[in-house]
Structures are given as structure tokens and as C-alpha cells.
A and B are shown apart, each in its own frame.
Chain A
């Protein structure tokens, strides 16, 4: 009988025993208690942790440990409370806090797993290990914790309050899941987080690695990539813990960070004291990441130990959207006051206001990576001698991006020695600068001169002597600031804002001040919205363009503007095919994945396209006949992914054949481009055994990730890239390695597979590494172009100081061979512009050889008052004169010239009097002058005409040789420019009695009338006006004593007189 009963009892006691009734108080006394007791009174207390751990407690239960007592082991009571009725752990009796001393066989001293509605108060907790701390996260100590609250795939858990514990000597390892109080969510399958976590009034000293850490593996949003190796994979979607408050804690000598939190929304961290954090390894004292709407206030963060990396009092870290850091006191920190650092998606909307920093060291403000939209205002920064000459700010651009839009207002910087600012990304207005190199010249309203603090530098010798930073009545900082809207309503000391015009610095002077008068408009603190696209999306680096007609309100730029809510749309119904192109300009990138995001895809999404890239000589297809079918039409994001073999290019385009044009239009919200190393996994292989990293690290476009071999390698070995069924042209290979002198590849052949076999592209290549530090050093070899289906390095030797070889990146490229220019000619070596020419001309330059790589030509004129020439060789005539237009090749500076002449002015002709008289007795003198400005007379073209007939013989002629009557003498001239002019003069040839008489006399003298008597007879007849008789006699004598010619002349004139 008895046997059966005892067996029955033992069966039951083996299972966690349900507590007897809800709302029961249990007492535990390690020296006076007994596990056989019922535990419900001080006199009948339980004894051991095992007893407590074997019990499942109910809502409203209390578990009280006796003051002054201690237990070795792990406390892990089971069960959960409920809303309004938590389970409480506390102490009873007078004396020191009950001690839970952890043991090396358990990682935690106090543990809850997938439990909720618990409050733990008034315990002392330790968890030592004999092993030393180091930076290896897999340190054999293990990830030890003081108090570990774990949510493992349990969804949302509520109400964990941890208060007034004294936690010390927790010897964990270098991870974020190890330290004094660790609240941890793991949600690989079920997104998991906590709501209502209060960590208040605890003292944590000598804790490794962290003092207080709120962590989670539900971090995926905005393209978040890999986190630390100890965070369990796969990661869950971003699931924040809410109503997290960390307050009134004192954390001293945390090995790494003092207080840190990840993946929260609305966390409040206030009134904590964190001193001597980063005690054993670099970190930051108070920091947060992947968290939204953070409030960090009234904390004192001081004397961090390790400033080699970070080490700041406060650190707004990666992926934070919205942080307010106010009314904190930071001093004597090894790394600096305020760190803004981000390696992932943007950290945005950070406000740092009304804080005091005294004697922080190294870098007071540090900006690193993609940080956007920061307001630092009304902070008082004191840099004393013990700051050790820090920089006021430094600045780092990282793969995630560059810090930008950092606005500084109303701050006072007081320095006894500093190295000044890196001003990139920052603007300064209405700040005060005193001493050191703090002055920012560009500050339009800067105040210099002694700020008149009550007692600067006097803090840190007592906790409330920051009163030294209050302003004296005659401080130039009073009223010298600018109003900021939504300023929180109070200054550092609790004074209301503002007392008339705002003051600079953390103190708003309370005494009487002059009235504000008219003030500049207040500053609005604006929020920016986070971008939609992951940080490793390459598309935003390109310029987008399209051959489709775009809607005027939805431009093509919207497809790579990083925001999903802005879309591109065609205008009306597009005609296909059309192109959407991304041009990366001078950059070459590698990619293997395209993503299209279309909201309302069923209505207007792109459905059919080819993907092409520009290989330098033309467009080459990467993938053809890609078809997308869209499922949604409700405004939600729908993202389609297209994978393709890893391709290097500067330009890529979609040749779009069709879309769902249900309303006529085609739209696209975002086009994204990635180099996704997972997709290229099969592309690269190696015959070397791997020691560290993976071989895909050498083609992931990330110089920081490296592959290292095992320490035991033999040569030759191979590293092979497989390009699939489309060969690529290659003529250049670059190896990137750090610590090259220690582990870089030195001798290798470059081989390629041409479709049927392996050939050598470059035999016996050899590189010499120059560096042996963390610099990513590049070494390049080139060779004649080959077309490779596969490419491999046959590695024959390497530096192996530590046994292994390593490679950060293998870059395979084809740069088109450069064909140099050998000469240039112009199609028209000279141009003459005359009055009738066009006022412009087009010159063509021919660069040889015709396949020269750079055929760019620069045009110039040496006299732009004569001709202008544009970049395409189009000549515009300006004015008369001569000029030389030169075409010069960009490559080689070869030149060709065209001589330009501009002459609009025809020759000037002056005709002299061409006759001595009108009478036949006169002389015809064809006198003329031709002159020409600019090009000069073209004498060959000069024509002398008499009565329209060209005079071949231009000489003085007796008038009697000309017919009687009207004549016209003409001179026509040309200049060498081809301008022509003509001038004429009319004259008459007449006769008279007197003229005739003179002719007779002249002929007689000339011997044409060879008889004096006849001559006289003729003269007499003329004097008597006896013309007909004259005529008779001339006729009679013609050929005898009057020459025939003479007779003709005389008879002609005489008959003319007769007929008058």
C-alpha cells in the first residue's frame, strides 16, 4: 500500500508542479528552508533554486528570496502572469539583496524563456567565469548573462519589468546577446518582440560584454543585409519591441557598450548613468540601431575607456528613423561626444539639443556613412586641456553613403585646443565660437568672444556642477540665437524657452534681458521620409531616360529616385518597342539582378521586354523575351525580379515590347539593379580549400569582403569564373587584396575557355604587392582581348606568410583597345566670303585613322571679329578680314587649319577724264584707277570697254579715229575675293570747222598731206566755210597728195558738217 502511494507521489513530483492557487506568495531561504516545505510562509520556506525552477507559477504569484542569503545556479521559474496580474520575484526580510550566483555550467543566472507578465526586483546577480575576455565572440566563456529574457518564436510577449537589481561580474563574451541584462527576440519563423519592457533602477558593474542590451533578429526592412555572426539566421521581418523604457540605471565598467537597444519603436532611455563603458573593447557607451522614435534624455555618459574605434558617449547608429537626444551630460569619453554612424539603410531625422559635453576626447562629433537630416542645436561643448586636442568633427563616406544635411544652430563651442572641423555635410548658423579652431567662417551669424560662462570646465568634480555652464548676465550668447520651432519647451536646466530672444547654448538665461524686437523667422525642424529602396540598389547611381513619351507629371526620373510612391508613366498609349535606359556615365558596374516595382501592375505594368547592355561597340542582349505577369492592382508594391548572368556595363536598357495597357498607359514605380552575390554563387569556384570567407566574396562588388584559403595549399591551383553560354570579351584582370605582402597571389597564368578547350590568355603573369596592412591594394594585368566562356587564374605562387592566400576581389574587364589619332585634315583649307556669299559655312574635319578611339576635335578661330566657329565646325561670318580656323584633335593635338577671308567690298574704280576735248581733234585717253581693300584687284579680270567692246590695246587714241557720236567708256574690275564693280563714262565725238582746220594742219605736219599748197587750199576753203568745195578737193587728192586715211577722216567730218 505504502509502496504504491510513494510511487504515485514520485511520479507527480518529477514534473513541474502547478502552483497550488493563483496569487500565492512563496518564500525561499537557502539556509533555513527545505524543499519539502509548502513554501507559503517564512517559517515553511523552500530552500533551493531547483524547487523554484520545477514550479509553474500562476498570475499574481510572488516568489520571495530571503535577504542576506545566496544561491548558486540558475533561477528559471516557469509560467506566466497575465495583464494586471504579473508574477513577482522580490526579496523579503532585512539585509542585503538575495544573491543568485551563476555557475559556469549555465549561461544565465536568471532566465525566462517565452514567458510574460513577470517583474523581477531586488536581487543581487553575478555570473563569473575563470576564462579571460577577448574579442572572439566564440570565446569559450560562452554568451553568459546576468538576467536573460528570451523570446524564441513566441510572437508578441508582454510586460517584463526588471528593477533595482545589483548585477555585477557577469563574464560573457563579445556579443550583443551577452551581458548584465539581455532582452532578446528570435523570430526566424514567427516574428517576435516584446511590449512593455521596463528596466529601472538597476546597478550593473563589471559586465561583459554589455550592461543592458535589447536585441532581436527580426531586423529585415529597407534591404537590411547581414548583421553579426551570432545573430540567429534566417532573420525575421522588422518587428519592433514597443513601450521599452530603460531608466535610472547605473552601468559602470561594461566591457563594450553600456546600454544599447535594437529594433524598437518609441524606446525611452532616461536618467541612466553610464561610466567607463568600452572597458575592455571598443564600442559606444549608449547606442541604438534599427529603431524608430527614440528618446534619449537626462543621461550622464562619461569616461568611456576605449576610443580607438567609436568610444563616444552617445551613438545614433545604423537604420534609426527618428531620434531625440536631449538634456544629457557627456564628459571625458575616450572617443567623443556624439557619434552618427550607419553602414546600412539611412539613419534619418536625428535631433541633438540642449546637451552639455565637457572634455570629451578624440572626435567630439563624428559622422560616418549614410546619415541624413540632423539638427544639432543649443548644445554647450567644452573642450578642455584633458580633451587632448580632439577634432571638433570628422567625416567618413562609406558604401552606405555619405553624411549630409547636418544643421547646427545655437551651439556654443568653447575650446582650449582642438583640430577644427571637417565641414563636409554641415551648415552652421547662429553658433558661438571661442578658442581653438572652432570658428566656422561660413556662419553668417556667428558669435565670437568669451561666452561668459559662470565656471567653464568645472563639471565632473561633482554631479551638479554643470551649473558652471550657465551664462553670466553679460554673456554675448544671450539673445544671439535663432528660434527653433518645437524646441521641447525647456533648456538643459529646466528653464522655459524662450526668455525674449533665444540664447545660444544649453542655458536659457533666466534674468532680465532686453526685449526681443523683430527676430528672424524661426527654424522649422523638418522630417524627411525614409527611402524605399535598399542601400545596395545600384540603379540610383545612373541617369534614367526613355524613348517613350513620358507624362509631364510622372517623369522617367521617378523610376530610380528611391521612393516607391513616385511612379513613371507614359503619356497616353505608347507605341512599342520603346527603350528605358540606365546610363551610369563614367562608372562601370556589375549586376545580375533587375527588379521592377509596379503598383497597379495588372492595369499598366510592363509585360514583355528584352534586357540589353552596351558593351562599348553596341547593344548586346543579356536576356530576351522576358515576360512578366502582374497579380495585383490595389496600389500595394508588387516587385518582380529578373536574374541574369553577372554582367559588367556602363549602360543597360529594357527594350520594352508590351505592357498591360488597360487604360492606355504603361507605368513603373521603381527599377532596381543589384549585384546579388547569392546569385553568382555558382559562377565562381576554386580548387583551393577555403579557410575563411567564401569564394563568392571575390565577385560581390565589395572590396571589404575577402576570401582566404586554408593554410595548407599547394600549387598550381585554380580560381575559375563561368560566364555561361554567352562569351565575354576580356583583356584586363585586377586582383584586390589586403595584407598583400602577407597573403597575396604573386605568380599566375590567365587562361580562358573558348568553347572547345582551355587556352592561355596571359602566361607567366607576376605581381608584386607593396602593402601589408588593411588597405585594399589593386594589381592589374592586361593582355590581348580574348572571348571567354570561362576564365581562370592558374595560380602558381603566392605570398604565404601565414600559410594561406587571400583575395578580396577579382575584377575582370574589357577595355576597348585604344587606337591613337595620327592626323587630321579639314575639307576646305580656305574659304573666301565675298559680298554675295552666304554668311556661314560648315567645315568638316577628318580624323585619321577612321577607327581612332577618341575622335574628338576642338574648333577655334584666331579672330572672332572676322569669323566665329562653333564646336561642330560651323563657321559664322562676322566681319571683314582674314582669320584662321583651326581644328585640333583631343588625342594627340594634331591640327588642321582653314584660311578664311571675308571681303565684302568690291574694287573702287576712278575714271579720269577720258578725252581732252569733245572734238575729233582731241585725244581719247583711257585713264582709270582701280583700287581694292582686303583682297586686292584681280588684274586678270580687269576689262576696259569702249562702247561695249573690250579694248585690247589701251592707249591714247586720236579722237578722229573714233566714230562721231556718243561713246561709252567702261572699266570693269574684280577683286581677288570675286567682288566685281564697273564704272562708265560717256563722251561725245564731235566735229567742227575749227576741228577740221586743225586736222588739216596736223595731217600736213605729219606728211599725210604732202603738198603745202594743197593744204593751204584746203584750209582756205574751211575758213570760208566752203565745206562742199573742201570735200571735192579732198576727194580729188585722195591717194595723191592726201593719204587715203587722212582723206577718210577729213571727208567724214566734213560731210557731217555739211549735214548739219
Chain B
């Protein structure tokens, strides 16, 4: 079993997928130029290769990282909730700064994966407005279907966070399927090398043939994770300093 190194706080799935890259993303802070005039300035907190990250997307990322940051400061410094918690300096670390940084990383990561999904034709729109409209439409559709006794899978009504996770998860599945059918079909040799490099005490007694299906799947997951890391490291991230600096919890 591969040992998972868990970093305190950030959404765990980004780590276990080997996706989160700390600090190696080139981030440019700008006071305002270079942003589309058709969008409200304050609504865009950053762009990734020119694609905007909406303030709501950033807020979702903040929410996703909140519990982790709170637990971090509680465990490390015994910090308790208070009105001043976020702006207090604990041993030189300020919770608000940490959460914004983590939320930014989360947002960049998600936006890169959305860009890949759009390139692969899996997602048509990757902007926040489209997402919110889609959420509203979907919940309306579900309600109507249930009233009409038609088929609906999953909840009668999705919360924003749940719906977002759901759309992203399904999109990533489709992206991997697409890539597997086209560019990334591994040959036997590549698979075997990959398998050998991953073998551990728990899998020592299994032959390659017996686990080949899973190896192919793991291989695709591994390649995808590497591909996202690569795209992140090449990404040009421009942060809109105004909204970013003034962001409050």
C-alpha cells in the first residue's frame, strides 16, 4: 500500500491525487490591468491562463479549506474561535493569510482541471455563471421529475457544494476515459514497469495478470495526476490584488 502523506488542512483529495503543488506556481499579483472590462472587477479574483476565477468559486474554495485551517491552529496553538481569530497572528502565522493562500491553490487546481475538461470536450462551460445556472436548472429538473414520478438519481435537490463536487468528479472520469482511448493507451511494457514500481508488501503475492485491470486504471489515474501537475506548473496565474487583499471571512 502506498503510504499517503497528509498535509494538514487542505482538501485531502487534492493531495492524495498528487495534485497539489505548493509554491511552485508562478503567481502574479496585479492591481487591475489585464482584466476583461465586460466583467465586474471585484467578481474576478484571479485568472489562470486568462480564464477567470470568480469570487464565488474562490469562496467555495475558502469553505472547503476552512475546517482544515481552524483545526490546524487549534491543534498547533490551541487557538479557539473568536471574532479576531482570522486576523490574529499565532506564532507568526495568520489564519486569514493561510486560508486565502490555500483557497487560491485549490482554485487554480480546479480551474486547470476544468480547462482540461473543456479541451477534451467534456465540459462546455467552465465559468461560475454557467455553473450557477446549471445548478438551478438541475434542481428545477429534479423537482419536476419527482413531481411527475420520473427517474431522478441522487438527491431531490443539490446543495451548491455537493453539486460542484459531483459535476467535477463526473467530468474528471470522462476526461480520463477520453485520454485513455486516445493519447494515453499504455503498452504492456509501460504497464509492467509501472506495476513493478508500485509493488508493496500487500501486493507481493499477486501476479501481474491477476491485477492487470486495476494496474491499467491506476496507471491512468497516475498519468492524469502527473498531467495536471504539469499543467499547473506551466500555468500563468494572475491575481487581482484588490479583491484578494480585501477578502474577509
A444 to B215, CA, bound (A): 38
Task: Report whether B155 and A201 are in contact in the complex, using a CB–CB cutoff of 8 Å.
Answer: yes
Q: In which size bucket is the chain A interface?
A: 35 or more
B149 CB-CB contact with A under 8 Å? yes
Which residues of A have CB within 8 Å of B176? 386
Given contacts A169-B67, A307-B213, A386-B180, contact A460 B153 (CB under 8 A): no
Is B6 close to A, CB under 8 A? Answer: yes
User: Is B3 in the interface zone, CB < 8 Å from A?
Assistant: yes
Question: Which residues from 904 to 963 on chain A have a C-beta closer than 8 Å to any C-beta of chain B?
Answer: none
Residues from chain B with a CB closer than 8 A to the CB of A386 are: 176-177, 180-181
A774: contacting residue among B67, B141, B205, CB under 8 A: B205
Instruction: For the complex, give the distance between the alpha carbons of A384 and B173 in Å.
Output: 14
Residues of B within 8 Å of A171, CB to CB, are 6
Are A99 and B66 in touch, CB under 8 angstroms?
yes
Asked if A275 and B169 make an inter-chain contact with CB atoms under 8 angstroms apart, the answer reads yes
Q: Is the CB of B5 within 8 A of A493?
A: no
Task: Name the distance in Å between A871's Cβ and chain B's nearest Cβ.
Answer: 48
CB distance from B72 to the nearest CB of A (A): 9
Contact yes or no, A72 B70, CB < 8 A:
yes
Q: Given that A132-B4, A206-B11 are known contacts, is A362 also in contact with B213, CB under 8 Å in the complex?
A: yes
> Is A130 within 8 A of B162, CB to CB?
no
Question: Can you list, as one digit per residue, whether each of B143-168 has a CB less than 8 Å from chain A (1) or not (0)?
Answer: 00000111111111011011001100
A-contact bits for B53-77, CB 8 A (1 contact / 0 none): 0000000000110111011001100
Flag if B166 contacts A271 (CB, 8 Å). Answer: no
- With a cutoff of 8 Å between Cβ atoms, the chain A residues found around residue B81 in the complex are 30-31, 69-72
Contact with B along A1017-1055 (1 / 0, CB 8 A): 000000000000000000000000000000000000000
Q: How far is the CA of A951 from the CA of B161 in the complex (A)?
A: 131
The 8 Å CB contact of B170, one of A253, A271, A460, is A460
Interface residues of B in 1-58 (CB under 8 A from A): 1, 3-6, 8-9, 11-13, 16
The answer to the question of B217 belonging to the interface, with a C-beta cut-off of 8 Å to chain A, is: yes
19 contacts between A and B (CB under 8 A): A69-B81, A71-B81, A124-B67, A126-B68, A128-B68, A166-B161, A201-B155, A203-B165, A205-B165, A206-B13, A248-B156, A252-B165, A276-B169, A279-B13, A307-B213, A362-B214, A384-B177, A460-B170, A739-B205
Assuming the A-B contacts A31-B82, A169-B68, A275-B170, are A494 and B150 also in contact, with contact meaning beta carbons closer than 8 angstroms in the complex? yes
CB closest residue in chain B, given A47? B81
**Interchain CB contact (< 8 A) of B162 among A103, A203, A307, A461:** A203
How far, in angstroms, from A131 to B202 measured CA to CA in the complex? 20
If A72-B70, A206-B11, A279-B16 touch, does A132 touch B3 (CB 8 Å cutoff)? yes
Within 8 A of A (CB), among B83-111: 83, 85
Q: Considering only CB atoms, which chain A residue lies closest to B163 in the complex?
A: A250
A464 CB–B CB distance under 8 Å: yes
Is B136 located at the chain interface by the 8 A CB criterion? no
* Residue in chain A with minimal CB distance to B174: A461
Q: A772 to chain B: which residues have CB within 8 Å?
A: 205
Q: CA separation between A796 and B30, bound complex, in Å?
A: 78
Q: Which residues from B are CB-within-8-Å of A361?
A: 213, 217
The complex places the Cα of A221 from the Cα of B166 at a distance, in Å, of: 40
**Contact among A69, A104, A275 for B75, CB-based, below 8 A:** A104
Interface centre among A131, A300, A361, A463 (most CB of B within 10 A): A463
- Complex Cα spacing A621 to B221, Å: 64
User: If A132-B6, A250-B165, A386-B177 touch, does A126 touch B154 (CB 8 Å cutoff)?
Assistant: no
Task: Kindly provide the distance from the CB of A505 to the nearest chain B CB, expressed in whole angstroms.
Answer: 14
Complex contacts, B180 vs chain A, CB 8 Å? 386
Query: Does B80 reach chain A (CB closer than 8 Å)?
Result: yes
Q: Report the bound CA distance from A280 to B4 in whole Å.
A: 9
Is A101's CB under 8 angstroms from B67's CB? yes
Q: Does B216 contact A (CB under 8 A)?
A: yes
Contacts of B174 in A (CB 8 A): 460-461
Whether A408 is near chain B, meaning CB under 8 Å from some CB there, is no
Chain A at the B interface: SS class: loop
Q: Are B166 and A250 in contact, CB atoms less than 8 angstroms apart?
A: yes
Name A31's contact: one of B63, B83, B170 (CB within 8 Å): B83
B residues less than 8 Å from A252 (CB atoms): 165-166, 169
Query: Nearest chain-B residue to A327 (Cβ)?
Result: B151
Within A281-299, the residues touching B (CB, 8 Å) are: 281, 298-299
Q: In this assembly, does A308 line the interface, its C-beta being within 8 Å of a C-beta of chain B?
A: yes
Complex-state Cα separation, A774 to B14, whole angstroms? 35
A134 interfacial by beta-carbon distance below 8 Å: yes
Chain B residues in 8 Å Cβ range of A124: 67
Are the CB atoms of B153 and A329 closer together than 8 Å? yes
For the complex of A and B, list the 6 residue pairs with the smallest distance between their C-beta atoms, beginning with the closest: A273-B154, A126-B67, A386-B177, A248-B155, A300-B153, A30-B81
CB pair A359 B154 closer than 8 Å: no
A103 to B80, CA, bound (A): 12
Judge if A902 is at the interface, Cβ distance under 8 Å.
no
Q: Does A303 contact B (CB under 8 A)?
A: yes
B235 at the A interface (CB under 8 A): no
Q: Which residue of A lies closest to B83 (CB)?
A: A31
| Residues of B near any A CB (own CB < 8 A) | 1, 3-6, 8-9, 11-13, 16, 63-64, 66-68, 70-71, 74-75, 80-83, 85, 122, 138, 141, 148-156, 158-159, 161-162, 165-166, 169-170, 173-174, 176-177, 180-181, 202-203, 205-206, 211, 213-214, 216-217, 221
The answer for the CA separation of A30 and B80 in the assembled complex, in Å, is 9
A249 on the B face (CB < 8 A) = yes
Chain A residues within an 8 Å CB radius of B138: 463
Whether a CB of chain B sits under 8 angstroms from the CB of A332 is yes
Contact partner, A334, options B16, B141, B151, B217, Cβ 8 Å:
B217
Q: Is the CB of B158 within 8 A of A169?
A: no
Q: Which of B5, B85, B158 has the most CB of A within 10 A?
A: B158
**Is A253's CB under 8 angstroms from B153's CB?**
no
Bound Cα distance from A248 to B67, whole angstroms: 24
Q: Are A272 and B154 in contact (CB under 8 A)?
A: yes
Contact of A463 among B11, B82, B154 (CB under 8 A): B154
B207: nearest chain-A partner, CB-CB: A773
Interface presence of A653 (CB below 8 A): no
A707 located at the interface, meaning its Cβ lies under 8 Å from any Cβ of chain B in the complex: no
Interface string of A244-266 (1 = CB under 8 A from B): 00001110110000000000000
In the bound complex, residues from chain A placing their C-beta under 8 Å from that of B13 are: 205-206, 253, 279
- B67, B85, B122 pick with most chain A CB within 10 angstroms: B67
- Near B by CB (< 8 A), chain A positions 151-184 give 164, 166, 168-169, 171
Query: How far is the CB of A795 from the nearest CB of chain B, in Å?
Result: 24
Q: A280-B16, A306-B214, A332-B177 are in contact. Are A300 and B154 (CB under 8 A)?
A: yes
Q: Is A137 an interface residue (CB 8 A)?
A: no
Chain B residues with CB under 8 A of A303: 169-170, 173
Interface status of A305 (Cβ within 8 A of chain B)? yes
Q: Which of A484-526 contact B (CB under 8 A)?
A: 490, 492-494
Residues of A within 8 A of B165 (CB): 203, 205, 250, 252
Query: Nearest chain B CB to A414's CB is how many angstroms away?
Result: 16
Give the nearest-CB partner of B141 in chain A. Answer: A464
Count chain A CB atoms within 10 A of each CB in B155, B181, B202 and give the residue with the most.
B155
Return B102 CB to nearest CB of chain A, in Å.
13
Is A385 an interface position by the 8 A CB rule? yes
Q: In the complex, which residues of chain B have a beta carbon less than 8 angstroms from the beta carbon of A307?
A: 213-214, 217
Complex: chain A residue closest to B6, CB-CB: A132
- With A308-B203, A386-B181 given, name 7 new contacts (CB 8 A): A31-B85, A69-B81, A71-B81, A103-B74, A171-B6, A206-B11, A298-B153
Query: Contacts A130-B8, A280-B4: A250 and B155 contacting too (C-beta < 8 A)?
Result: yes
Q: Are A298 and B170 in contact (CB under 8 A)?
A: no
> Considering only CB atoms, which chain B residue lies closest to A99 in the complex?
B67
CA of A359 to CA of B176 in the docked complex: distance in angstroms? 12
A298→B158 CA distance, assembly (Å): 15
Question: How many whole Å from B154's CB to the nearest CB in chain A?
Answer: 4
Q: Tell me the A66-101 residues at the B interface (CB within 8 Å).
A: 69-72, 96, 99, 101
Answer whether A271 and B154 are a contact pair too, CB < 8 Å, given A72-B70, A130-B6: yes
B161 and A203 within 8 A (CB): yes
